[in-house]
Structure 1
């Protein structure tokens, strides 16, 4: 028995990184998964690799019409929607003085407007299925200052706030809404192009993080699974920090 047997889950940003690991794990736990992304070739290839339990749909999360089509595709293909994972995001690295209005607005469009549109579009389908789950990917940076990520941090803080509000609004319909707040994770967002070896990433984050290494995308996927299955049946409106202890404080040097 899988933890998501019989459920249908839509995952955004699913073509690579954390979303890819969520798609693989959710399918392994019995879910039928719709992989949504703008990286069409990678998304289709991953869906084909996962097999009959997976489908791919193009989705620019900042576009309202794309959300309508993605939800229609999901219900047309699998008959219902039980879960949404708002994983898609970008992390422009700019100090305040170097952050253009266009850069800031694009971060808002993808990181903040995207989850808003997704929750609004998914809520009626989740209610029609008798309830369900929404997992919004926020960040450690939503809860603690991190230089050169002003646009990213602002949008992720908004995700945490929206999560709390929507959890209150949808609880009566049997829909639970929580936020996953990763710290540093070894994905293309943190390590573009995979140019830095994991050993080097571990050494760098080992100076910042009590557990002494960077996080793995599969570790984030396991927490997203927890928040999407009955193991968390009495949990809603919460930010779940998965950061190796980073938020607790920086370890002192020996």
Structure 2
């Protein structure tokens, strides 16, 4: 028998939660349903610049709050994670809610306004890198330091392991990163985005090995195409004819939904998912196999 609220007493920080159609919202809601205290991060100005537009943050907050288990708490933090100085304060603010932080989901991302290789500039590459890659690594570092401060320790040398005295009875924390489908095929016109996401997938094993010495599990999720509004004809930023033709050949005939991703992350966050770490997990209903 599984506990009805397996995340009761745990506190989760989910970044990039500013739209009810988004993956972050679905993950935060799923954590709430599983009993967790939930802290959401948002940066609404990013959405205002996109074709799909921004959402009502009060409605976002209300929707997640309505899913909280009795006694669970919620808070939200606004921050621009392109600014490295704002990253660690987000983690610290999330810890304030209950005094501990157990789950970190780095769902935030810069999207839109990319380009192909002929369009690349240093500014474009930096913009995607700073948000999608650098801030994810810095958030993870701050989370890890909250589990074991290393301010007075020398940096790890290549191949060196973090020393620990005894095995852990259970995971001390869980971190989730989000990558994209760049490994399965070309992402034309999204060179900066694909680069920033490929870096996360590529370094997953390295960071997961280090975090594991602290009892922290890291997994990276590739959700495939998930319609968060960017695949609606009226708000898309790309041609859809080729996608629709491909979908017609797939067994399920659809792209992903935010709840598909949320269900996977929700399970990995529970005791049932405690034996999975260091993986880049593709969850796309077989889309990449077509």
TM-score (norm 2): 0.76
| Counterpart check, 1:50 vs 2:71 | no
- The structural deviation recorded for 1:223 is 1.2
Whole-Å separation in 1 of the counterparts to 2:89 and 2:233: 30
Residues 233 and 247 of structure 1, relative CA distance in 2, 3 Å threshold: same
Give the aligned partner of residue 18 of structure 1: 23
| Counterpart check, 1:65 vs 2:58 | no
Whole-Å separation in 2 of the counterparts to 1:159 and 1:193: 31
Whole-Å separation in 1 of the counterparts to 2:179 and 2:249: 20
Q: What 5-or-longer segments of structure 2 have no aligned partner?
A: 46-54, 66-71, 150-169
Map 1:1-254 onto structure 2 (within 5 A). Answer: 1-16=4-19, 17-39=22-44, 42-51=56-65, 53-92=73-112, 93-126=114-147, 131-191=172-232, 194=235, 203-204=244-245, 206-207=247-248, 209-248=250-289, 250=290
Name which one, 1 or 2, has greater alpha-carbon Rg: 2
Residues 229 and 151 of structure 1, relative CA distance in 2, 3 Å threshold: same
CA contact (8 A) 1:7 1:32 kept: yes
Moved more, 160-169 or 79-88: 160-169
Residues 96 and 224 of structure 1, relative CA distance in 2, 3 Å threshold: same
TM-score (norm 1): 0.86
The structure richer in helix per residue is: 1
Tell me the SS of whatever aligns to 1:234: coil
